[in-house]
Amino acid sequence: MKLRGMDIYKFLPKTDCKKCGYVTCLSFAMKVAAGSVAIDKCPEIPAHALAELEESQIIEQPAAAPPPPPPLAAGPAFFCGNCGQKIESGAKFCGSCGSPVGNK
């Protein structure tokens, strides 16, 4: 269950100390609810409140990073017009016979 900013605010010290980087505890709570900042960025949150949030799993753990995208498909293969060997992408000369690669 995801909490709203006001639900999270109830656990905060409400001192508006700005140590978390936000002007008020309420603005911090709203950012926590939105997932923009972790609750433990509040250095003044009572340990029992933090433990209660973590134990009850009210604060959702960040999702694991998505898997990397699959590698891009290789471009079309090019072959030397002189010897027929495959030419590496970006090569200016054939690696087998040394013939210059034309822009075809």
The upper half-sphere exposure of residue 54, i.e. CA atoms within 13 Å in the direction of its Cβ, equals 10
**Rounded Cα gap, residues 20 and 8, in angstroms:** 15
DSSP β-ladder status, 78-79 and 86-87: antiparallel
pLDDT for position 94? 87
Which residues, 6+ apart, have CB-to-CB distance to 13 below 8 Å? 25, 42, 44, 45, 46
Mean pLDDT by 10 residues, the chain (104 residues): 81 93 93 87 89 65 66 68 84 87 64
Give residue 74's pLDDT.
Answer: 58
Contact 43, 16 (CB under 8 A): no
pTM over 0.85? The answer is no
Counting every residue written for the chain, the total comes to: 104
